[in-house]
Amino acid sequence: MSVTPEPGLLGSQLSLFDYALRTHQENPDAPLFRDGEPYPDDEQHRGRKSRPQAPEDRRREGADVAAVLDAHFAERSAVPRDLAGAFHDLYVPIHPNDHIAAAACRVDADRVRATGRWLVQHATDRCAVTVGLALLATLWDDDDLPLIKTIGLLSNRFGPLAARALERRSWCGGSEALLWLAERVTGWGRVYVVESLCKVGSAAARPWMLRRACDGDYLNRYFAGKVATAAHLHEAITAANPDSELVDHTGLLLTIMADSGGTGITLDHYPPAAAVLQAHCEHASRLEPSVERFSIAAQLAAYLRQPSARRIAWPEGGREQVVGGYLSLLNRESWCAVARAGLAAGDHRVTWLAGALAPGLALRAFTDAVTDE
């Protein structure tokens, strides 16, 4: 099926799908700037005097949307266009919803499919698009993939349902579509999509998950441990000669998991943590120094001195050995030179390290610099 909106159906206002498609085509290999916000319907939603609120009983979320769908589908002559403005004044959940899914199950799948496709592709209001995507998330058709991927680029709003819809199609291209989308979303959208990749467990996605899943955003804490588990990090990093991209991303994963309390799997709850830390330290010692690598090694050395690190299942003397390995690396003259250059340039990563971690670790890069002054 074509994914280009039919001309003339939307009047002067752009559909959200068409907007996402055009914005994506301007820079097809990167996330949309600010997740594409503001959307074309922003004026209809920003500053509304009475914004629809979720019901006090959260179990009722989506029930009024389902009632509208039931009434619509009960009318045999009704067409999808009739729903274009039907949800604007309702609270429309952006996550998979049992009430909406049940409404879809009460109707012939062909009609649900046609309605969902039309709303996703042609609706100019985010509420209607969300309902359309929720309908498609109950189905399995692979020719919906272009629609779902494209609207999923507006991931802060549509990421949860797009990820679920692609998950359901993992057997027919959904995994590849999730991987495509994961490369092009950030923030909460990245959380939804990467978590779906972890659930799907696609072997084809593992190389990307091992090297690119985390982009350094604070929200990576929600999925870093899931990535380490689903992508078989232990197996990959303990191999003889992992590539530098894998080693660097492993270091990032480890620092995120070290600081994921309350949001995701922490290192002390990750069974292979000791072996992965040891392997990372060994492989990092063979790489050229950089500010990022210096920062990662310092953060891990500092973490390993905390009480929580003692809860990891270490072999005898293992923790001390890894701490010593990181400190030895950090105190190499070539690594110190990189850190000092970063400090002189005002690199925020190095200035933070100099104040927060360097005193406790007695790092030469900073203690010698102070002495020289």
- pLDDT (tens, 9 = 90+) of the chain, 373 residues, equals 434 434 333 334 899 999 999 999 999 999 999 999 999 999 888 867 678 999 999 999 999 999 999 999 999 999 999 999 999 999 999 999 999 999 999 999 999 999 999 999 999 999 999 999 999 999 999 999 999 999 999 999 999 999 999 999 999 999 999 999 999 999 999 999 999 999 998 899 999 999 999 999 999 999 999 999 999 999 999 999 999 999 999 999 999 999 988 899 999 999 999 999 999 999 999 999 999 999 999 999 999 999 999 999 999 999 999 999 999 999 999 999 999 999 999 999 999 999 999 999 999 999 865 544 4
Number of H helices, E strands in the chain: 21, 0
State the DSSP H helix or E strand holding residue 120, giving kind and residue range, or none if neither. Answer: helix 109-122
Please state whether the peptide bond connecting residue 38 to the residue before it is cis, i.e. omega within 30 degrees of 0: yes
Backbone angles phi, psi at 58, to 5 degrees: -65, -20
**Structure tokens of 345?**
């340039």
**Structure tokens of 135?**
């309908």
- Axis crossing angle, helix 63-74 with helix 98-105, rounded to the nearest 10: 10
> What is the gyration radius of the CA atoms in the chain, in angstroms?
25
CA dihedral (116, 122, 124, 125) in degrees, to 10, reads: 0
Q: Exposed, middle or buried, 22 (CB in 10 Å: 0-12/13-18/19+)?
A: exposed
